[in-house]
Chain A
Amino acid sequence: EVQLVQSGAEVKKPGESLKISCKGSGYSFTSYWIGWVRQMPGKGLEWMGIIYPGDSDTRYSPSFQGQVTISADKSISTAYLQWSSLKASDTAMYYCARLGTPENYFDYWGQGTLVTVSS
């Protein structure tokens, strides 16, 4: 069974750094792209970027380029989303999801990680 399990909720202050995780199981982690999706409170879904864990090839939405870093550690089947300096506007639910193949829709989703940034 394909599963994506995300790390737990985080409460941070503006300016702090953060790295959240997404662990895949039940499939070949290195053979599928993993993506991150933001959902701000009461809002819709925003595609942030994707990574191919097999070679760490990464693609970002222009809206998120330079704002976050997506990475992966294939040895532990885990993808990451990180911030070097959080802002209050980063408060949101973040989902990881697997891209299907050969077509690039998200076929499996993690449960989400709520990030709250507040002074």
Chain B
Amino acid sequence: AIRMTQSPSSFSASTGDRVTITCRASQGISSYLAWYQQKPGKAPKLLIYAASTLQSGVPSRFSGSGSGTDFTLTISCLQSEDFATYYCQQYYSYPPFTFGPGTKVDIK
């Protein structure tokens, strides 16, 4: 199975900051990568698929990049509603379509 790692596992940031989360796959996955946001007590929400395509309705301050094994999620100007946990997921090879361990973004 393909293993996904994320860094950092958690960090604190302030509203207005530019933040970047990194996701790495244990083998090449082309651009078959999605990013999800999960707030406490809520179901995950799809933000980005195909590594860089924004899901309909997601604010343009979110962006994704990368291909192969290394990917990033960037939030250009952090808003209060963006404090959450972010997961990457590969859907190149299954089963399973593995998730990363998550990155928690909290308020500094």
Contact = CB atoms under 8 A, between A and B. Distances in A.
A10 interface: no
Given A45-B87, A59-B95, A105 B34 contact: yes
A104 B97 contact: yes
**Interface of chain A: mostly helix, strand, loop or mixed:** strand
Interface in A65-112: 95, 97, 100, 103-112
Interface size range on A against B = 20 to 34
A104 B101 contact: no
Interface residues of B, number: 24
B102 A107 contact: no
A119 interface: no
Interface of A: 37, 44-50, 59-63, 95, 97, 100, 103-112
Q: Give me the 9 closest cross-chain CB pairs, A-B, nearest first.
A: A61-B96, A105-B34, A47-B96, A109-B43, A104-B91, A45-B99, A105-B49, A44-B102, A61-B95
